[in-house]
Amino acid sequence: MSGATDGLPSTPGAQQGSAPLVVFDPRLGPATAAEDPLSPDARQRVRERAAEVIARYPRPRSALMPLLYLVQAEQGYVSADGIRLVAEILGLTTAEVAAVVTFYTMYRRRPCGAYVVGVCTNTLCAILGGDAIFQALQDHLGIGNGETTEDGMVTLEHIECNAACDYAPVVMVNWEFFDNQTVESARELVDRLRAGDPPMPTRGAPLKTHTEVSRILAGFPDDLADVGPSAGPASLAGLELARRRGESAPPRPGASS
Amino acid sequence: MSFRLTPVLTASWGSERSWTLAAYEATGGYQALRTALGMSPDAVLQLVKDSGLRGRGGAGFPTGAKWGFIPQGDGKPHYLVVNADESEPGTCKDIPLLMATPHTLIEGAIIAAYAIRAHYAFIYVRGEVLHVIRRLLRAVEEARGAGYIGRNILDSGFDLELTVHIGAGAYICGEETALLESLEGYRGQPRLRPPFPAISGLYGCPTVINNVETIASVPAIVSGGVEWYRSMGTEKSPGFKIYSLSGHVARPGQYEAPLGITLRELLDAAGGMREGHELKFWTPGGSSTPLFTAAHLDVPLDFEGPPAHGSMLGTTALQIFDETTCVVRAVKRWCEFYAHESCGKCTPCREGTFWYVQIFDRLERGLGTAEDIETLLDLSDNILGRAFCALGDGATSPVTSSIQYFRDEYIAHYEQGGCPFDPVASTVFAGAGVS
């Protein structure tokens, strides 16, 4: 299912196989959103939760971003109909909502796979192996940046720095960390995702599908916060060295100021 | 003076279920909040001023002064916004903190809100860190359940609402005014300053925006006091700081130390460069801070040290590269990042970063010319100081500093008609027999 052949209007960003300039990002998809209508049930669910989202903020418009995640949780992406619904809820024009959707890369504008595999190719990860991993996964899966495997299981993309540089090279799957990857481990990772046997993230909870993740990002978490470690080994490198060397901050004089 | 590591913020990261309220309270968590609520807001503000705490998001602005800019008795709502949009390439300190000990940040946020008399606080966290978001949302609910958030906190009469706002993938939203736009439900594009957020911030009201590490330092300052805090670090840059070492070092990771430590000392802690290799270049504080080389191993990493040598402390994100790394390739990739993340509002950044990528693309492929290097410098002159916000300025840092220190390497690319480096040699799996 290539982005360039799914019947949607072509844009410079949807062209595949050209020089890898990042100026137009294929992840963003076509400039116009797909038209798929939300089901009546989905509309109802979004509306019911919208009141709770709006109540988090002093002003309703601040709820726009979480509402877009709620729509994405229903369809896997933000459709033109999803934009209309959010505009209705907040009393905005569809242009105002579309302007926001198109600014942020985490709002998808066309369907994606159950698992979005993001290989960090910002400088540090790229040099430590991210470029090799990203190339190997494209070859292994037979798809390019922003494309989805034919079974609909994996969408592959390169991502920017994800704040885990001490675990480079890093691969994210549905925004969970897979630390210290190699070409082999990354190939095995996508094979298992496609086989319906997703491995555990290095520091996180069992993988959720992309739509389930969008619901959490709307501020409706599941109950998995207690799964996984406090920190990975690199996060603890300094602390453990301090313990071995017997070093610490000076003792605090007490609880008073 | 020989340094020592001073884990404060990181001290509990390895503890059992460290992210829970129970674990946090077992190590004295929320005692600082009790102390602070027993003081007047002005006294808390003065304490933070006296501590000398400076912003950890990159600029190093004195935190107490920033809080002090909030007009009092103005009849407007005040807002506290915590910037947890950690996205500066190389920066990886706030995300592990939120994963391991989110209550440290929440306690700090409540104290900070009290000091500036805000009754609404936001934590703007980047969206790409699902499990961190789970832990943060859970911690806020736990704190609410324990009466640390809500009405009449600990019977003090102080009310506070705290909302976690989840970003959606835009580096620019780490810029404080773009963050406010995003929080108001708009595209994340920076605002003209002045007016500064302290006067006209969120919804046009007085707003303090602080980095996660800044706010998370506040409970320790309240409980330890000014003298204790100032016993670490330097006169102008007091306190502890999380240094993030990544790249070609033996033991990458988070090392919390007094401000003023040097890369030589940090490298010693991290086991040195990876075996058989030597330091080539590094960023002191993320990709937006000009590159340093092995000549800068002894620069004190406080707010004064790097600027005296043409760079900045930034976010203390030390990305460290050895001699196998092509600096042109490294800088090209950062340029692609800035071009991708430029919000498009101002011409110097939008067009300048676009042209950077074009020029670096042909340089790296060996198709460049001597004129390209001059064009890069000219272009940098036209971005630096002329862009709407710090993103454009930051984009010029790796370009100009790499040409300053490694011009010969740029020349080698077009003289040899290609990149002289083997990209496999710089991977962590080099020599492991992988394709």
Q: What is the pLDDT of residues A160-175, one digit of tens each?
A: 999 999 999 999 999 9
- Is the N-terminal amide bond of B195 cis, ω within 30° of 0? yes
Give pLDDT tens digits for B353-397.
Answer: 999 999 999 999 999 999 999 999 999 999 999 999 999 999 999
Rg over CA atoms, chain A: 21
For the cut 60, the answer to whether the pLDDT of residue B187 exceeds it is yes
B88 token code pair: 């500066």
Confidence of residue B30 (pLDDT cuts 50, 70, 90): very high
User: To which H or E segment does residue A45 belong?
Assistant: helix A40-54
Q: Which residue of A has its CA nearest to B434?
A: A183
Angle separating helix axes A94-101 and A80-90, nearest 10 degrees: 120
Is the separation of the CB atoms in A215 and A201 below 8 Å? no
Write out the E strands in B44-102.
Answer: 79-84
Q: Mind telling me how many Å the CA of B299 is from chain A's nearest CA?
A: 20
* Averaged pLDDT of chain B: 96
Q: Taking CB atoms and an 8 Å limit, are B227 and A253 in contact across chains?
A: yes
To the nearest 5 percent, what fractions of chain A are helix, strand and coil? Answer: 45, 10, 50
Task: State whether A252 and B325 contact (CB < 8 Å).
Answer: no
Q: Does A82 touch chain B (CB under 8 A)?
A: no
Cβ–Cβ gap A123/B423 under 8 Å: no
Inter-chain contact B13–A105, Cβ cutoff 8 Å? Answer: no
Residues A127, B361: C-beta atoms closer than 8 Å: no
Is the model more confident about B433 or about B96? B96
pLDDT higher than 70, residue A6: no
Closest CA–CA distance from residue A147 to any residue of chain B (Å): 19
- A2 has pLDDT over 50: no
**Taking CB atoms and an 8 Å limit, are B317 and A213 in contact across chains?**
no
Average pLDDT value for residue range B103-110: 98
- Would the pLDDT of A9 be above 50? no
pLDDT at residue B237, rounded to an integer: 97
Query: What is the greatest pairwise CA distance in chain B?
Result: 73
Q: Are B432 and A241 a contacting pair at CB < 8 A? A: no
Residues in chain A with CB shorter than 8 Å from the CB of B330 are 123, 127
Q: Using CA atoms in the order B162, B213, B225, B1, what is the torsion angle rounded to 10 degrees?
A: 180
For strand B207-211 and strand B79-84, is the pairing parallel, antiparallel, or unpaired?
Answer: parallel
Contact A59 B203 (CB under 8 A): yes
Contacts of B33 in chain A (CB under 8 A): none
A212 in contact with chain B, both atoms CB, cutoff 8 A: no
pLDDT of B432 above 70: no
DSSP state of B318: E
B-interface mutation test, from A22, A119, A124, most B Cβ less than 10 A away: A124
Q: Please, which residues 26-55 of chain A have a Cβ atom closer than 8 Å to chain B?
A: none
Q: Tell me the CA distances in angstroms from A157 to A105, A147, A172, A200, B343, one per residue in order.
A: 12, 7, 10, 20, 21
For residues B77-81, give the mean pLDDT: 98
What does the pLDDT look like over A196-249, one tens digit per residue? 999 999 999 999 999 999 999 999 999 999 999 999 999 999 999 999 999 999
Express each pLDDT in A79-121 by its tens digit.
Answer: 999 999 999 999 999 999 999 999 999 999 999 999 999 999 9
* Rounded (5°) CA angle A99-A100-A102: 70
Cis peptide before B238 (omega within 30 of 0): no
B327 CB contacts (<8 Å, ≥6 apart)?
B280, B281, B291, B321, B402, B405, B406, B409
In DSSP terms, B54 is beta-bridged to B62
Q: Evaluate if residue B213 carries a pLDDT over 80.
A: yes
Neighbour count for residue A179 (Cβ, 10 Å): 18
- Identify the pLDDT of residue A69: 98
Asked whether B46 and B62 are in contact (CB, 8 A), the reply is no
Measure CB to CB from residue A100 to each of B171, B185, B245 and give the nearest one. B185
Could you tell me how many residues make up chain B? 435
**Model pLDDT, residue A13:** 36
What's the whole-number mean pLDDT along residues B246-275?
Answer: 97
Predicted ipTM of the assembly: 0.96
Interchain proximity A249–B8, CB inside 8 Å = yes
Distances (CA, A) of A134 to A172, A182, B432: 12, 10, 18
- Residue A254 has a pLDDT of 60
> Phi and psi at residue B86, in whole multiples of 5°?
-40, 105
- B370 in Cβ contact with B396 (< 8 Å): no
Report helix angle B370-383 to B390-416, nearest 10.
180
Give me the pLDDT at residue B2, please.
52
* pLDDT confidence of residue A36: 82
Domains and CATH numbers, chain A: 22-103 (1.10.10), 115-208 (3.40.30.10)
For A164, the token pair is 């885990």
Query: What's the pLDDT band for B6 if we cut at 50, 70, 90?
Result: very high
pLDDT band, very low/low/confident/very high, at A35 (cuts 50, 70, 90):
low
Reading the block at residue A143, the tokens are 């798809």
Higher-scoring residue by pLDDT: B182, A256: B182
Out of B135, B170, B240, whose CB is closest to A225?
B135
CA B71 to chain centre: 27
A95 to chain B, any CB pair closer than 8 A? The answer is no
Q: Nearest chain A residue to B28 by CA: give it.
A: A255
Q: Which residues of A touch B28 (CB under 8 A)?
A: 255
pLDDT digits (tens, 9 = 90+) for B279-331: 999 999 999 999 999 999 999 999 999 999 999 999 999 999 999 999 999 99
* Alpha carbon B244 to its chain's center: 10
Cα of first residue to Cα of last residue in chain B, in angstroms, is 47
Instruction: Give every strand in the sheet of B120-125, ordered side by side.
Output: B161-166, B120-125, B79-84, B207-211
* Percent of chain B clearing pLDDT 90 (strictly above): 97
How near does any CA of chain B get to the CA of A162, in Å? Answer: 7
Nearest CA to B322 out of B197, B190, B427, B193 is that of B427
CA-nearest residue to B85 within chain A is A163
Residues of chain A found within 8 Å of residue B252, distances taken between Cβ atoms: 165-168, 234, 237
Contacts of B354 in chain A (CB under 8 A): 23
Helix axes A80-90, A64-75, angle to 10 degrees: 140
